[in-house]
Amino acid sequence: MNRLSVQERAAILGMLVEGNSLRAITRMADVSINTVTKLLVDVGTACEQFHNEHVVNVRVKRLQCDEIWSFVGSKERHTTPEKKMQGFGDAWTWLALDSETKLCVSFLVGGRDAAWANLFMQDCARRINGRVQVTTDGHRAYLEAVEGAFGMDCDYAVLQKLYGLPSEEEARRYSPARCIGCETKVVSGNPDPQYINTSHIERFNLTMRMSNRRFTRLTNAFSKKWRNHELMIAIHAVHYNYVRLHKTLRAAPAMVAGLSKTLWSLEDMINMADFYTPKPGKRGPYKKRSAN
């Protein structure tokens, strides 16, 4: 079986994490789209397993959580019940970021209701060691989810942004409402008011949109399969934690968090994926098809 070299696969992976679409990569790398898709699935599956095994027992002082919207196949209001059964519709990505080390602690793709919030916060609590200060936006699903996951072992505060009515010009163009202020509310514990903010996780959301073509608005590059959407987010998380050099930290977040001693390369990600990917077995004997 023909297989691309580590350097060739690393080049394709680099195109994926820098916001290129699958079709664009096939043209630039001169490979078939099946090759690019298979690489996405193999590396994404390995990144999921690697993140679950290695981003654990992390010391986090300040955790910021948020969710980012996207969709698979079609937007929720344009999705039929039959398509929803196939995974089409809105896809919310829950993200948790260590404000100090900028480490992506947890990610989860699903809905935006309380059940998904509980799953997400339980995963965050499983990975964090010690008491933590948690800051979220005003989404109500977080209130019970944070308490259920951390109990009394966290200092929890909510930052609620206040938005004004858009002007006539702002209403005509594709832009979010204007923020006119913020309100903070202490929910439990004794959080430090100086660190009640969500600016770091919101900046990480911007990085996600710019580095992942599936999140680009007003294009046809959106995900067509739910599973591929999840795997691409897993690739982004591992690349951000271990490979991407953070300009402020001058290191990868995993290095600052003590999860890695060196800055990874794209080739290291490919080698990691090869380690987690099961080796193909030997082909069986060829059976000549009889003519009917």
Task: Look up the CATH number of the domain holding residue 108.
Answer: 3.30.420.10
Residue 133: predicted pLDDT? 97
| Residue 15 near residue 28 (C-beta atoms within 8 A) | yes
- Contact of 34 with 23, CB cutoff 8 Å: no
The answer to whether residue 282 is domain-embedded is no
What's the pTM?
Answer: 0.90
Structure tokens that stand for 90 in this block: 């809105």
Specify if 224 maps to a domain: yes
In a domain? residue 1: no
Domain-located, residue 292 = no
Find out whether 212 and 229 touch, Cβ atoms under 8 Å: no
At 289, the pLDDT band (50, 70, 90 cuts) reads low
What are the φ/ψ torsions at residue 223 (nearest 5 degrees)?
A: -65, 145
The pLDDT tens digits for 228-268 are 999 999 999 999 999 999 989 999 999 999 999 999 999 99
Q: Where are the alpha helices (DSSP H) in the chain?
A: 6-17, 22-29, 33-54, 81-85, 114-127, 141-150, 168-172, 199-211, 226-238, 253-256, 266-276
Q: What is the mean pLDDT of residues 97-102?
A: 97
Q: What is the pLDDT of residue 175?
A: 65
Of 11-15, 20-24, 71-75, 217-221, the least confident: 217-221
Q: What percent of the chain has pLDDT over 90?
A: 80
pLDDT reported for residue 14: 97
The answer, yes or no, to whether residue 292 has pLDDT greater than 60, is no
| Phi, psi of 3, deg, nearest 5 | -145, 140
Nearest to 182 by CA among 159, 201, 206: 159
The verdict on residue 288 lying in a domain is no
pLDDT tens digit string along 197-238? 999 999 999 999 999 999 998 889 999 999 999 999 999 999
Domain assignment present for residue 283? The answer is no
Domain of 89, in residue numbers: 6-167+174-276
> What's the CA gap between 266 and 232, in Å, rounded?
15
Give domain status of residue 266, yes or no: yes
Count of structural domains within the chain? 1
In a domain, 228, yes or no: yes
- If DSSP codes are grouped into helix, strand and coil, which group holds residue 50? helix
